[in-house]
Chains A and B, each alone.
Chain A
Amino acid sequence: GQQLNQSPQSMFIQEGEDVSMNCTSSSIFNTWLWYKQDPGEGPVLLIALYKAGELTSNGRLTAQFGTTRKDSFLNISASIPSDVGIYFCAGQGGSEKLVFGKGTKLTVNP
């Protein structure tokens, strides 16, 4: 079945640093989504990407839909303590279901 490889698994950074994480797949996806999950809560949508090559920003967050349709990355610039959480990529390809990556756990030290 479709699987996403998300890396890194975890990151420990200092406040103010930039962060980059990515997802790759052997399958083509038509949509890439990035969600953030805080403890005890559901995934919150950060950025949605619908076209190959698309680069989209949401404040300090920037995400790109890879030109091969098989990858996506998320960058966070000038990290702050409230960026702490687990970031998930999710792909959607030709069906209703979202396929999720295993998540990147981000820790920001003040």
Chain B
Amino acid sequence: EPEVTQTPSHQVTQMGQEVILRCVPISNHLYFYWYRQILGQKVEFLVSFYNNEISEKSEIFDDQFSVERPDGSNFTLKIRSTKLEDSAMYFCASSLWGGYSNQPQHFGDGTRLSIL
């Protein structure tokens, strides 16, 4: 069964450094998402992306965050200057369509980001 893959599985970074988290969505999907889960808390939406544009973002997704689809397969999340509170599991998800389409979002196994 097709799946969303994320790399690396664990990233350790010094505070203030830039980090790029990578995702390969399911191949025929058109909508891509990033979520995060701080340890012991619920999963929170960060951003959705369609047709090479951000379609929706949350308050968490401030100017330190950016997303990109640099080629036909990868979808990346960049954090420019990491803070301690950015430590979390980051999940990528994709869906065939978005919104009212009755197409569910499928999640990858996540990247654990640890900021020192």
Contacts and interface: CB of A to CB of B under 8 A. Distances in A.
The answer to whether A binds B is: yes
Query: How big is chain A's contact interface, by range?
Result: 20 to 34
Contacts of B31: 96
Given A41-B109, A96-B31, A88 B48 contact: no
B45 interface: yes
Interface in B80-108: 91, 98-100, 102, 104-108
B42 A43 contact: no
Interface string A79-94: 0000000001010001
B74 interface: no
Contacts of A35: 107
B91 A100 contact: no
A45 B104 contact: yes
B25 to A, nearest CB: 13
Given A42-B110, A98-B105, A88 B55 contact: no
Interface of A: 30-31, 33, 35, 40-45, 48, 50, 88, 90, 94-103
A41 B105 contact: no
Given A31-B104, A97-B58, A98-B43, 4 more contacts: A30-B100, A45-B107, A88-B42, A96-B56
B68 interface: no
Interface of B: 4, 6, 31, 33, 35, 41-45, 48, 50, 55-56, 58, 91, 98-100, 102, 104-110
A98 B109 CA distance: 17
Given A41-B109, A102-B41, A102-B42, A96 B98 contact: yes
Nearest to B58: A97
Contacts of A102: 41-42
Given A42-B91, A95-B56, A100 B42 contact: yes
